[in-house]
A and B are shown apart, each in its own frame.
Chain A
């Protein structure tokens, strides 16, 4: 069930990314949907699951880019694992905490990707720092919104479940 849920999330991330690029050509520059999902997974899953999620989503992202295959796979694996380890040590529940974490993850991912291109690819390129800053802010905002939305949805579902249980006991 968890695997199916994860696959559905991956499919949704791909659809959002492809649709976003279709509607706004700069979408891939502004938001990294895949990394947002990786970090949010890292906050809630075990480090091994987060590592797997990072690897999977990173490789899917690599399939949609023209650079070397495995650049985002490498970076997102490391970031998924790092986010999970951080969540084990710190309690990150505030929306602003999620925003800061996703934004930092975007900067770290870009740094890792650039370092790898310089080390391993014949024509390394550096993205514009302005776009990286914009990407960090926008992705952080998206991560925060998803976090707030999912927390609210979970609380509502839990409240409904409790009220249903209490009604059953009374009856």
Chain B
């Protein structure tokens, strides 16, 4: 093919990609090409992720009897503590249910969680990504992803048994949040440029905020349920005439994720039917 024709091919390919990129900005969800790419690179991530797991299993097999006995004793103690804590929490939950029933409060249904493996995590670069292996279990776009410590992000692309997660630290991510101590609400965003910290926007300067305040999801964005830990306030400054500039340390250590949980949660419908006029 001569150079002029190659030039035309180049122009066509670049124009096509520009159209795909422009369309992505205007809508949510994934494209066919993105799903295909994820299906192709996912197995490589899974293969690499399984190597340390296999080595770990080999190491476990070689442990001495003494180490195993120590670990067994420690785990038994932990189980006893957790049983006690569960009893206390059941008691509190029962009390909350009774109080709720007394004032006819309809509590939102609690979601079910499923553990999934992280096969690729790039949390350091400014194009941070997390790819998870769901094992073919139904996964939906915008499904919340948690770790044992708090909120990780939400699913943005699903391709067969693999899914791509938008991390909470992503500049484009936004979560409706509230300060637990004062119940004051705002929006948590990633700070970008590879920063591991978050910012809490739209909290008015009249509101009292202190370093050490715990921030949770508020359940106001229709994506995440209420009460998932997001982070802790580390610094408060006056951002402008109206709002504080609040910095948060995430509750989750994004650099140490090897397993996360998918939350089966029914988000609020995007278009609620209007009530008929009386």
By a beta-carbon cutoff of 8 Å, the part of chain A in contact with chain B is 11, 14-15, 18-19, 21-22, 25-26, 28-29, 46-48, 51, 55, 59-60, 62-71, 73-74, 77-78, 81, 116, 120-123, 125-128, 131
The reply to whether A11 and B20 form a contact with Cβ atoms under 8 Å apart is: no
28 A-B pairs with C-beta separation under 8 A: A11-B44, A21-B121, A22-B48, A25-B122, A25-B124, A28-B122, A59-B33, A59-B37, A60-B40, A60-B41, A63-B34, A63-B37, A64-B122, A64-B131, A65-B122, A65-B125, A66-B156, A67-B127, A68-B25, A69-B24, A77-B13, A77-B14, A77-B17, A120-B22, A122-B25, A127-B126, A127-B193, A128-B126
The reply to whether B122 and A120 form a contact with Cβ atoms under 8 Å apart is: no
Chain B residues near A77 (CB-CB < 8 A): 10, 13-14, 17
What residue in chain A is nearest B157 (Cβ atoms)?
A: A69
The reply to whether B124 and A66 form a contact with Cβ atoms under 8 Å apart is: no
By a beta-carbon cutoff of 8 Å, the part of chain B in contact with chain A is 1, 3, 6, 9-10, 13-14, 17-18, 20-22, 24-25, 30-31, 33-34, 37-38, 40-41, 44-45, 47-49, 52, 120-131, 156, 164, 166-167, 170-172, 192-194, 255
Interface pairs A-B: 5 shortest CB-CB = A63-B37, A65-B127, A66-B129, A123-B172, A123-B171
The reply to whether A51 and B13 form a contact with Cβ atoms under 8 Å apart is: yes
The reply to whether A128 and B194 form a contact with Cβ atoms under 8 Å apart is: yes
Task: Tell me which of A21, A55, A126 contacts B120 (CB under 8 A).
Answer: A21
Contacts known (A21-B121, A69-B37); A78 close to B44, Cβ less than 8 A: no
Chain B residues near A128 (CB-CB < 8 A): 126, 193-194
The reply to whether A69 and B31 form a contact with Cβ atoms under 8 Å apart is: yes
The reply to whether A22 and B41 form a contact with Cβ atoms under 8 Å apart is: no
The reply to whether B21 and A70 form a contact with Cβ atoms under 8 Å apart is: yes
In angstroms, Cα B10 to Cα A63, docked, is 21
The reply to whether A81 and B10 form a contact with Cβ atoms under 8 Å apart is: yes
The reply to whether A66 and B127 form a contact with Cβ atoms under 8 Å apart is: yes
The reply to whether A120 and B25 form a contact with Cβ atoms under 8 Å apart is: yes
The reply to whether B17 and A18 form a contact with Cβ atoms under 8 Å apart is: no
Contacts known (A29-B125, A48-B9, A51-B13); A125 close to B193, Cβ less than 8 A: yes
The reply to whether A73 and B17 form a contact with Cβ atoms under 8 Å apart is: yes
In angstroms, Cα B119 to Cα A14, docked, is 13
In angstroms, Cα B183 to Cα A109, docked, is 45
In angstroms, Cα B38 to Cα A81, docked, is 25
The reply to whether B48 and A123 form a contact with Cβ atoms under 8 Å apart is: no
The reply to whether B172 and A70 form a contact with Cβ atoms under 8 Å apart is: no
Chain B residues near A62 (CB-CB < 8 A): 34, 37
In angstroms, Cα B18 to Cα A21, docked, is 28
Task: Tell me which of B17, B21, B45, B129 contacts A65 (CB under 8 A).
Answer: B129
* Nearest CB of chain B from residue A9's CB, rounded to whole Å: 13
What residue in chain B is nearest A48 (Cβ atoms)?
A: B6
Task: Tell me which of B20, B41, B130 contacts A14 (CB under 8 A).
Answer: B41
Chain B residues near A22 (CB-CB < 8 A): 48-49, 52, 120
Contacts known (A18-B44, A63-B40, A123-B192); A74 close to B14, Cβ less than 8 A: yes
Contacts known (A14-B44, A74-B14, A128-B193); A28 close to B125, Cβ less than 8 A: yes
Task: Tell me which of B6, B120, B128 contacts A47 (CB under 8 A).
Answer: B6
* Nearest CB of chain A from residue B266's CB, rounded to whole Å: 26
* Nearest CB of chain A from residue B22's CB, rounded to whole Å: 6
In angstroms, Cα B40 to Cα A15, docked, is 12
* Nearest CB of chain B from residue A163's CB, rounded to whole Å: 38
Chain B residues near A68 (CB-CB < 8 A): 21, 24-25
In angstroms, Cα B218 to Cα A79, docked, is 45
Chain A residues near B48 (CB-CB < 8 A): 15, 18-19, 22
* Nearest CB of chain B from residue A67's CB, rounded to whole Å: 5
Chain B residues near A126 (CB-CB < 8 A): 126, 193
Chain A residues near B22 (CB-CB < 8 A): 120
Contacts known (A15-B44, A25-B124, A62-B34); A74 close to B17, Cβ less than 8 A: yes
The reply to whether A125 and B192 form a contact with Cβ atoms under 8 Å apart is: yes
In angstroms, Cα B31 to Cα A131, docked, is 30
Chain B residues near A47 (CB-CB < 8 A): 3, 6
What residue in chain A is nearest B121 (Cβ atoms)?
A: A21
